[in-house]
């Protein structure tokens, strides 16, 4: 099992789904975890579960759609724990809809949470991560590599996360920090369970990207994130590891 004792990990989107699974995995490995989400109830539930594993958890109920909020979150994390070793950018929103009906506000919100927030959080975290030989794990999606109807803003931002990861890795290739991404496919989370497509969609097109194998347990993806953030993955930098049950090859 990975050992993250005396390490601090900041995880966004931690109120449920993959974010919660990642928080539990790091907590089990001994890390102090800073948990962020807009969902206060879910966030405190995650913190209670992490604390049950004898790890220390701090919660921040925060909307990450502004640069200042991202910088405040990093500062509060470092002020509380004294350091930052791993940043996990997990928070994301789907926002399905017909392309011709997507409003400016919906587009801007998806871009702000899925793409801008990870960038601002990385920008704020880098000085601390460089001090600790730390690393970043961004959550992309298999949708970054294939066409998916009715979720154009989501897949566009996730493709952006992949390229952002690669470009940042190149910029910091001579520095003591690693920057990588994980691209999950369909997972058994509330994002998938509660997704509502608008009227008039072609369900045949949606079925083409729902995957053939069963949706993954978020814990399976969390294990990959934990490995990627660990010293065992010290030679992995600028990678996007796909964990999608073959979703992106169909």
Closest CA to 31 of 52, 3, 60: 3
User: Does residue 250 sit within a domain?
Assistant: no
Residue 174 CB neighbour total at 10 angstroms? 6
User: What average pLDDT does the structure give for the chain?
Assistant: 93
Helices and strands: H and E segment counts in the chain: 9, 7
CATH number of residue 38's parent domain: 3.40.50.720
User: Does residue 249 sit within a domain?
Assistant: no
Task: Look at 84 and 55; give whichever has higher pLDDT.
Answer: 84
Report how far Cα 217 is from the mean position of its chain's Cα atoms: 15
Place of tokens 């897949």: 155
Alpha-carbon gap, residue 42 to 20, rounded angstroms = 9
Q: Are 48 and 25 in contact (CB under 8 A)?
A: no
Closest CA to 89 of 31, 29, 157: 157
Q: Are 22 and 90 in contact (CB under 8 A)?
A: yes
pLDDT tens string 189-229: 766 666 778 788 888 777 777 777 777 799 999 999 999 99
User: Does residue 234 sit within a domain?
Assistant: yes
209 given a catalytic annotation? no
Q: What does the pLDDT read at residue 88?
A: 98
Cα–Cα separations (whole angstroms), residue 118 to 6, 153, 219: 24, 16, 22
Q: Which of 150, 154, 172, 209 is catalytic?
A: 154
User: Does residue 1 sit within a domain?
Assistant: no
User: Does residue 49 sit within a domain?
Assistant: yes
Number of domains within the chain? 1
User: Does residue 248 sit within a domain?
Assistant: no
pLDDT tens string 6-52: 999 999 999 999 999 999 999 999 999 999 999 999 999 999 999 87
Domain span at 26: 8-243
**Average pLDDT score over residue span 179-188:** 90
Cα–Cα separations (whole angstroms), residue 57 to 18, 181, 209, 229: 17, 24, 36, 18
Buried b vs exposed e over 186-198: b needs ≥16 C-beta within 10 Å? bbebebeeeeeee
User: Does residue 62 sit within a domain?
Assistant: yes
User: Does residue 3 sit within a domain?
Assistant: no
Q: Is the pLDDT of residue 250 over 80?
A: no
pTM above 0.95, yes or no: no
């Amino acid at each position: 099992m990975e050992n993250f004792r005396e390490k601090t990990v900041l995880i966004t989107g931690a109120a449920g789904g993959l974010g919660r699974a990642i928080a539990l995995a790091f907590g089990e490995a001994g890390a102090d975890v800073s948990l962020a989400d807009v969902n206060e109830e879910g966030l405190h539930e995650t913190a209670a579960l992490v604390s049950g594993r004898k790890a220390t958890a701090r919660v921040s109920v925060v909307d990450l759609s502004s640069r200042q909020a991202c910088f405040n979150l990093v500062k509060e994390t470092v002020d509380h724990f004294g350091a930052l070793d791993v940043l996990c950018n997990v928070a994301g929103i789907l926002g399905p809809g017909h392309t011709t009906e997507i409003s400016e506000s919906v587009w801007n919100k998806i871009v702000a949470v899925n793409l801008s927030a990870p960038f601002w959080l990385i920008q704020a975290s880098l000085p601390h991560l460089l001090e600790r030989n730390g690393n970043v794990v961004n959550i992309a999606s298999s949708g970054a590599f294939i066409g998916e109807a009715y979720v154009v803003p989501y897949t566009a931002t996730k493709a952006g996360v992949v390229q952002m990861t690669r470009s940042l890795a190149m910029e910091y290739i001579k520095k003591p920090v690693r920057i990588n991404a994980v691209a999950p496919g369909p997972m058994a989370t509330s994002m998938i369970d509660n997704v509502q497509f608008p009227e008039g969609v072609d369900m045949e097109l949606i079925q083409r990207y729902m995957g053939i194998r069963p949706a993954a347990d978020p814990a399976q993806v969390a294990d990959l994130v934990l490995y990627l953030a660990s010293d065992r993955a010290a030679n992995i930098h600028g990678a996007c590891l796909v964990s999608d049950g073959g979703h992106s090859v169909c």
